[in-house]
Amino acid sequence: MTDQTNTTAREQDRVLIFDTTLRDGEQSPGATMTLEEKLEIASLLDEMGVDIIEAGFPIASDGDFEAVTQIAKAAPNTVICGLARANLRDIDRCWEAVRNANKPRIHTFIGTSPLHREFQVRMNKEDMLAKIHETVTHARNLCADVQWSPMDATRTEEDYLCQVVETAIKAGATTINIPDTVGYTAPRESADIIRMLLERVPGMDEVVIATHCHNDLGMATANSLAAVEAGARQIECTINGLGERAGNTALEEVVMAMRVRNDIMPYRTGIDTTKIMQASRMVATVSGFQVQYNKAIVGKNAFAHESGIHQDGMLKHAGTFEIMRPEDVGLTETTLTMGKHSGRAALRSKLSDLGYELGDNQLNDVFVRFKALADRKKEVYDDDLIALMTDQSTNS
């Protein structure tokens, strides 16, 4: 590639979405999924336009191997990726599982930070460089699409990080992923690491650069987007942010952030965002991990309003208190939750939806009784309002 082409490639606005719900997501304690459940999720991810599905860790168990093998056949539009540690047995098993996919990928990794070198892999720097060269070369001899990750990259010494990445590229890696394995980095640093690698590592501008963030400090989404601004073009994420400890970057958050704030983050993905709620509900049901009410994009309250001022605003113009349309993520409408903070305008509108058109005096009367009820109940449901109205007509 010429310098000119490289610059153009780096400036391209398309960001690949790599979903690892079925691998890193499933690694959350208690989130184990059956083969049928994994196939159902994979086919929805395939339909919604995810670019790469990390389907599992084939060497981990026969069940994982089987799941990756089946998903490889069931998701025809997407790259199907399996994970492998830095040894030939893992890589061979991974290849066996993904090889029948339309677009197979091997993802191999090793922990490169001082802590991982000393306590996890027990390998010195030189031996590790040789191991990376050997394993990436082996993977590349099997598969044209090889992703390599220095696990705990964000706590790896800068000079050594450059060396390991350069070794992997020379051995044939086509995607270099920079994992923030323990959710330790912050947005500015996340971007600086990508810029530093682009500046110092030969060939870095010829591979796809990926960002893989964990959410231990609640910064996974911000860190992923900062990496993209610095040149990363693949975000690794999971539905609902499912993942070990505090989870991974949430797919729905990065995708909607780039869509809603495209003015300042001019990138695009291939995701059909109207399938986001369906995917969120499916993953919550299958994993048993319920989504918190105030979770961005997919929480029960993400498009719900209770306070009188907000409801009044929403009834006049949805843009007053919503920055995206519920339809864009697959919801049919905004919810005006009736509770003690609701005002007259919302009550009138809700009663009208239920078939009651009230004059001002009647509304005032119902409003007093509605507030008394709302003080006793967290939420006033449609049935409660109908009961109030029935009561009203018997009293009048």
Shortest distance in whole angstroms from residue 12 CB to Zn ion: 26
Binding of Zn ion at residue 152 (CB under 5 A)? no
Q: Among 15, 17, 24, 28, which residue interacts with ligand KIV (rule: CB under 6 A)?
A: 24
Q: Any binding-site annotation on 212?
A: yes
Residue 70, binding choice from ligand KIV, Zn ion, none, Cβ under 5 to 8 Å by partner class: none
Query: CA 84 to CA 91: how far, in whole Å?
Result: 5
Q: What's 14's DSSP letter?
A: B
Candidates 14, 75, 84; CA nearest to 234 is 14
User: What backbone torsions phi and psi does residue 41 show, to the nearest 5 degrees?
Assistant: -65, -45
Residue 151, binding choice from ligand KIV, Zn ion, none, Cβ under 5 to 8 Å by partner class: ligand KIV
Contact in structure between 187 and 229 (CB atoms under 8 Å): no
Secondary element (H or E) of residue 111: strand 103-111
Q: Among 21, 22, 23, 24, which residue interacts with Zn ion (rule: CB under 5 A)?
A: 24
CA distances, 83 to each of 86, 95, 127, 148 (Å): 10, 10, 22, 10
What are the tokens at 385? 């309002």
Residue 150, binding choice from ligand KIV, Zn ion, none, Cβ under 5 to 8 Å by partner class: none
Binding of Zn ion at residue 90 (CB under 5 A)? no
Query: CA 391 to CA 365: how far, in whole Å?
Result: 12
Secondary element (H or E) of residue 84: strand 79-85
Q: Any binding-site annotation on 310?
A: no
Binding of Zn ion at residue 252 (CB under 5 A)? no
Q: What's 212's DSSP letter?
A: E
Q: Which residues contact 152 (CB under 8 A, 6 or more apart)?
A: 111, 112, 113, 115, 116, 179, 181, 182
List % helix, strand, coil for the chain (3-state, nearest 5): 55, 15, 35
Q: Which residues contact 303 (CB under 8 A, 6 or more apart)?
A: 322, 326, 331, 333, 334, 335
What are the tokens at 247? 């989870």
Query: CA 322 to CA 54: how far, in whole Å?
Result: 33
Which lies closer to ligand KIV via its Cβ, residue 57 or residue 370? 57
Which lies closer to Zn ion via its Cβ, residue 24 or residue 306? 24
One symbol per residue from 168 to 187: x for binding ligand KIV (CB under 6 A), - otherwise; what is it?
A: ---------x-x-x------
Q: Which of residues 146-165 bind ligand KIV (CB under 6 A)?
A: 149, 151
Residue 109, binding choice from ligand KIV, Zn ion, none, Cβ under 5 to 8 Å by partner class: ligand KIV
Contact in structure between 219 and 182 (CB atoms under 8 Å): no
User: What backbone torsions phi and psi does residue 143 show, to the nearest 5 degrees?
Assistant: -140, 140
Which lies closer to Zn ion via its Cβ, residue 28 or residue 334? 28
Q: Which of residues 179-238 bind Zn ion (CB under 5 A)?
A: none
Question: Which one of 19-27, 100-108, 159-167, 297-305 is the stretch in contact with Zn ion (CB under 5 A)?
Answer: 19-27
Q: Any binding-site annotation on 133?
A: no
Which lies closer to ligand KIV via its Cβ, residue 237 or residue 389? 237
One symbol per residue from 200 to 229: x for binding ligand KIV (CB under 6 A), - otherwise; what is it?
A: ------------x-x---------------
Which lies closer to Zn ion via its Cβ, residue 57 or residue 95? 57
Q: Any binding-site annotation on 214?
A: yes
Contact in structure between 89 and 57 (CB atoms under 8 Å): no
Residue 149, binding choice from Zn ion, ligand KIV, none, Cβ under 5 to 8 Å by partner class: ligand KIV
Shortest distance in whole angstroms from residue 248 CB to ligand KIV: 8
Question: Which one of 24-32, 54-62, 142-150, 198-206 is the stretch in contact with Zn ion (CB under 5 A)?
Answer: 24-32
Q: Kindly determine how many residues on this chain lie close enough to bind ligand KIV according to the rule CB under 6 A.
A: 9
Which lies closer to Zn ion via its Cβ, residue 23 or residue 310? 23
One symbol per residue from 300 to 319: x for binding Zn ion (CB under 5 A), - otherwise; what is it?
A: --------------------
Candidates 17, 26, 55, 45; CA nearest to 242 is 26
Which lies closer to ligand KIV via its Cβ, residue 179 or residue 330? 179
- Interface contacts to ligand KIV, rule CB under 6 A: 24, 109, 149, 151, 177, 179, 181, 212, 214
Residues making up the annotated binding site for Mn(2+) are 24, 212, 214, 248
